[in-house]
Amino acid sequence: MNILFVGDVVGKGGRRAVARHLPQLVSGRGIDLVVVNAENSAGGFGLTREVAADLFNLGAAVLTTGNHVWDKREVLEFIDREPRILRPLNFPAVTPGRGFCITEAGGARVAMVNLMGQVFMPPSLDNPFHAVDALLEELRGRAEVVLVDFHAEASSEKQAMGWHLDGRVAAVVGTHTHIPTADERVLPGGAAYITDVGMTGNYNSVIGMDTGKVLKRFLRGLPERMEVASGAATLCGVLIKVNPADGRSGGIERVLCGPGFGR
């Protein structure tokens, strides 16, 4: 089974990159399942009903999110009714939405799990390690393959989660920092891992935002409204090869489609 995970889609440019490259990736690489992190897909902050529909129509089976999930308040109107849109599992139980879903792909049941880190992140979240442990017990016998999007700031916390879940899930992919890392590998227990997938956005920017606006913020020390950088965007993702028979991964590779990093 081939699973494509697309990193944080940033604004209209990121969505255009998905539209431009995803169909060829799906057909050319034999993709069975597409998962997209969409928390920055609507104007760079949050997710709307219209943008979610566009991403589903482009081929995404599941949309994951993170700390910007509530930035567009309209998401509260539909997240409870759309099981394919996830918010981090370790939000309080009373929070709208859900932290995982189960879908069919490649002849197997695939559980997609969304987690958020605690280090340098909002302090109100439950411990993600405890939350995912409890969920894996609940998922026993319900899914052959388990994937985890760990939306976190600290590379150490992401690596710790990879080792914590190795042997129990097919993949742990990091999101949130918008910078792709070069440490993709399969851990000894069969979990594919990467610290950060990177963003699907314009890399002639500061993590997808207009460079001039960000520099003013750093140089002047005053609030500055961030705007999505204009220009051509690059799709960044990972292609994970999973054996549904044992739920382990046989490989993971970075996918980069577009102008890249200033090239």
Give all domains of the chain, ordered by start, each with its CATH number: 2-257 (3.60.21.10)
Give the confidence band of 261 by pLDDT, cuts at 50, 70, 90.
Answer: confident
As to burial, measured by CB atoms within 10 angstroms (0-12 exposed, 13-18 middle, 19+ buried), residue 120 is: exposed
Instruction: Please enumerate in sequence order all residues whose Cβ is within 8 A of that of 165, keeping only pairs 6 or more positions apart, or say none.
Output: 132, 148, 172, 191
Average pLDDT of the segment spanning 196-207: 97
Q: Which of 27-41, 55-69, 115-129 has the lowest mean pLDDT?
A: 115-129
Active site includes 68?
yes
What pLDDT score does 260 carry?
78
What pLDDT score does 151 carry?
98
Q: Assess whether pLDDT exceeds 80 at residue 214.
A: yes
Average pLDDT of the segment spanning 58-72: 97
Q: Assess whether pLDDT exceeds 70 at residue 172.
A: yes
What pLDDT score does 262 carry?
59
Q: Assess whether pLDDT exceeds 70 at residue 200.
A: yes
Residue 230 neighbours by CB distance under 10 Å: 13
| Helices and strands of the chain, counted as H and E runs | 5, 11
Average pLDDT, the chain: 96
Give the confidence band of 263 by pLDDT, cuts at 50, 70, 90.
Answer: low
Q: Assess whether pLDDT exceeds 70 at residue 60.
A: yes
Q: Catalytic: which of 21, 68, 151, 178?
A: 68
